Amino acid sequence: MFLSHHRIKDLYDVANHLRQDVIEMLVAAGSGHSAGPLGMAEVFAAMYFYVLNHRPKQPLWEQRDRLIVSNGHICPIQYAALARAGYFPMNELKTLRKLNTRLQGHPHRKSLPGIETTSGPLGSGLSQAIGMALAAELNGERHRVYVVMSDAEHQEGNLWEAAMFAGKNRLSNLTAIADRNNIQIDGYTEEVMPLEPLRDKYQAFGWNVIDVNGHDIEEFVAAVLEAKVVYEKPTVIIAHTIPGKGVSFMERDFRWHGVPPNKEQAKEALKQLRTLGGKIKHE
């Protein structure tokens, strides 16, 4: 899996477009989460447009890689990626959170192609992904299972039960991606319920751990590649991200965790993103 300079630029461009989609979706909805989706744009661009083995026109293709989004509140970024990848029409994005929409405030598995699980209760996605990974191993299937998690959901006890199970069963076909943005709805994670030393905790549970800058696509893809050649244990990629990335007045501010922009704020956010283009990198 080689990333050419041209391909890298394309992926950063995709990430920027995904951010713009998120802003437009949220202001149209009048509700939703801003900080997390914006912070994960590079990760989702890399996953849907480079990493995943998938077929948007055949969403139930049996050999597809599975991507579980445990922190379902960041679904605007997943919806944007799915639409741009061709799972459903782009014009449907602005139906986010509307009555009778397929784009619910938390993903619903049977509502939309490309959604692997219904999510919402934080801390549950890792267990769901482990079930899929174990089933694939038992059935001799070669696809991989990925799960995206927030950092704050690591405050849930059931997540650590799942982590212990995955380590014990050496589920090397499982890669977890922890969005380490250091915020949650009530404040900063290390003030609400400290998570550190997060790396040491996963290692103690028998995981391979890789820390990356979540806005550096090359670094993230390299971590995914490393996970594929670790055969004796599951891997967690701790992706350090900036919540609200790309919009100056949202960055690092936990108050944007669960708040959408109003029309004026959205106008300014889109102006900033369009000015940046694909220039957001790993500063």
Segments making up each domain of the chain, as ranges: 5-276
- Average pLDDT on 225-245 reads 98
Q: Cα separation of 79 and 196, whole Å?
A: 31
- Spatial CB neighbours of 145, under 8 Å, sequence gap ≥ 6: 65, 66, 68, 129, 132, 133, 136, 173, 174, 175
pLDDT at 266 over 90: yes
Q: What six digits make up the tokens of 120?
A: 């919402």
Q: What is the pLDDT of residue 221?
A: 97
Which stretches of the chain are DSSP H helices? 5-29, 35-39, 41-46, 75-85, 125-138, 157-168, 189-192, 198-204, 217-228, 263-276
What does DSSP say about strands 174-180 and 187-188: parallel, antiparallel, or unpaired? unpaired
Instruction: Encode pLDDT of 87-142 as tens digits.
Output: 999 999 999 999 999 999 999 999 999 999 999 889 999 999 999 999 999 999 99
- Average pLDDT on 169-179 reads 98
Q: What is the pLDDT of residue 2?
A: 66
Confidence of residue 276 (pLDDT cuts 50, 70, 90): confident
Q: What is the pLDDT of residue 9?
A: 95
Q: What mean pLDDT, rounded, does the chain reach?
A: 96
Quick one: what percent of the chain has pLDDT higher than 70?
97
Q: What is the pLDDT of residue 277?
A: 76
Q: Cα separation of 270 and 61, whole Å?
A: 36
Comparing CA positions, the residue from 240, 246, 281, 276 lying closest to residue 19 is 246
Query: Domain 5-276 is of which CATH architecture?
Result: 3-Layer(aba) Sandwich (3.40)
Q: What is the pLDDT of residue 282?
A: 46
Q: What six digits make up the tokens of 75?
A: 């679904």
